[in-house]
A and B are shown apart, each in its own frame.
Chain A
Amino acid sequence: MTPSVAIGTDIEERSDTEQQSSTDVLAAPDIPWNLVIWNDPVNLMSYVSYVFQSYFGYSEAKANKLMLEVHRKGRSIVAHGSKEQVEQHAVAMHGYGLWATVEKAASGNAGPGKGGVQRG
């Protein structure tokens, strides 16, 4: 990703205000498909965070955390749910120009906790 000036150094400490999102509600452990966002050298870090906030309804802290995971690790699971749900998210992400794929979750790899969304 292309670095943004606005990503401050204080975001790592701000993970206490994560919101429940619509994706949390939709996801269920028995239908494990993941939505994966891949790193690319073009998309702005600020834009990727904006998309996570505005489309998924994630808090700024959570959106930045997922964005940094994409940037540093090359990919991040940003949501999961049924195949249809993650496919719908993927096409929305393609609309925004993010590089998204869907994949079957490996067993026990559907994201930690029962919240349904990986916390990076």
Chain B
Amino acid sequence: MAKAFKYGLKGITGYLEPAERELLRGLVDDVISMLEPEARENQDPLAALIGLDMEVKEPKDRALQRLLPNVMKGDDAGSLEFRQLTERSLREGKIGALRAVALGLDKDDLVLTPEQARYWSMGLNDVRLVLAERLDIRDEADADHVHLMQDWSQAEDVESYLALVYNFTTWLQESLVQAMLAARERKA
């Protein structure tokens, strides 16, 4: 059984069972592959290097739309222009955070530096946003409904399994953020 993250003398620590680490690694890898920028033919290498992508489009997948949202409501042209300048580096930043989570999953005992904790909180958040899209969580009532699924013996189909996984990552992120807030308070 996983242990909640806590803040103590060693910093932010937690513990995950091998099966839980395996589960998280799979989720993290899935989100990384969703976020990998498309390889483009005739991509200007210099443009790619500085993060420009003039052929980028608004994502069609709802989960990707949530991870990489339009920056302006009611201004698709303005949003697309911004996307051309920023989406590639946003994707890379998110992938970097998720890779940091994957690296940390190599050990049972988790001891996170403040920087690693920040990456973990971002990575877990993106994993949850993707799971929430797959679970069709549109409002707080949907979220409450999913939240009721807490017992692994209830897992009988893909949806109930996803709900349990979502609740597990929610619990893990909540405990991590509480530990990070406790660390901030200690320093203040």
B137, CB-defined interface residue at 8 Å: yes
Is the Cβ of A87 less than 8 Å from the Cβ of B82? yes
- Cα distance A30–B38 in the bound complex, in angstroms: 40
- Check if B139 is an interface residue, CB within 8 A of chain A: yes
Which of A1, A53, A60, A101 lies at the interface centre, i.e. has the most chain B CB atoms within 10 A of its CB? A101
Residue B177 is within 8 A (CB to CB) of chain A in the complex: yes
Q: Which residues of chain B have C-beta atoms less than 8 A from A41's C-beta? A: 132, 137-140, 142-143
Q: Report yes or no: A53 in contact with B128, Cβ–Cβ below 8 A.
A: no
Measured between C-beta atoms, what is the minimum distance from A114 to chain B in Å?
26
Interface residue A46 (Cβ < 8 Å from any Cβ of B): yes
Cα(A17)–Cα(B46), bound, Å: 47
Determine how close the nearest CB of chain A comes to the CB of B148; give it in whole angstroms.
13
Q: Is the CB of A91 within 8 A of B138?
A: no
Count of chain A residues near B, Cβ 8 A? 29
Per-position binary interface string of chain B over residues 132-147, scored 1 when its CB falls under 8 Å from any chain A CB and 0 otherwise: 1000011110110001
Q: Which of B69, B73, B178, B184 contacts A94 (CB 8 A)?
A: B69
Let me know if A47 is at the binding interface, CB within 8 A: yes
Which range holds the interface residue count of chain B? 35 or more
The answer, yes or no, to whether B111 is at the interface (CB within 8 Å) is no
Write the chain B residue with the least CB distance to A94.
B90
Closest to A44 in B: B174
State A87–B137 Cα separation when bound (angstroms).
28
B72 touches A101 (CB 8 A): yes
Within the complex, the shortest CB–CB distance from A101 to chain B, in Å, comes to 5
Most buried by B among A4, A42, A49, A87: A42
Question: Do residues A97 and B126 form an inter-chain contact, with CB atoms below 8 A?
Answer: yes
Cα distance A1–B173 in the bound complex, in angstroms: 14
Residues facing A in B33-87 (CB within 8 A) are 66-73, 82, 86
Q: What sequence of 0s and 1s flags, for each residue 49-63 of chain A, a beta carbon within 8 Å of any chain B beta carbon?
A: 110011000001000
> Once bound together, how far apart are the Cα atoms of A87 and B178, in whole Å?
29
CB distance from B32 to the nearest CB of A (A): 15
Which partner residue on chain A sits nearest B125 by CB separation? Answer: A97
9 A-B residue pairings within 8 Å (CB atoms): A2-B170, A4-B174, A5-B178, A41-B139, A41-B143, A44-B125, A94-B90, A97-B125, A97-B129
The 6 nearest A-B residue pairs measured at CB? A97-B125, A41-B143, A42-B132, A46-B177, A47-B177, A41-B140
The residues of A with any CB-CB pair to B shorter than 8 Å are: 1-2, 4-6, 40-44, 46-47, 49-50, 53-54, 60, 87, 90-91, 94-97, 99-103
Q: A4-B177, A91-B90, A95-B122 are in contact. List 18 more A-B contacts (CB 8 A).
A: A2-B170, A4-B178, A5-B174, A5-B178, A6-B178, A41-B138, A41-B143, A42-B137, A46-B181, A47-B121, A47-B125, A47-B173, A50-B177, A53-B181, A94-B68, A94-B71, A96-B125, A97-B126
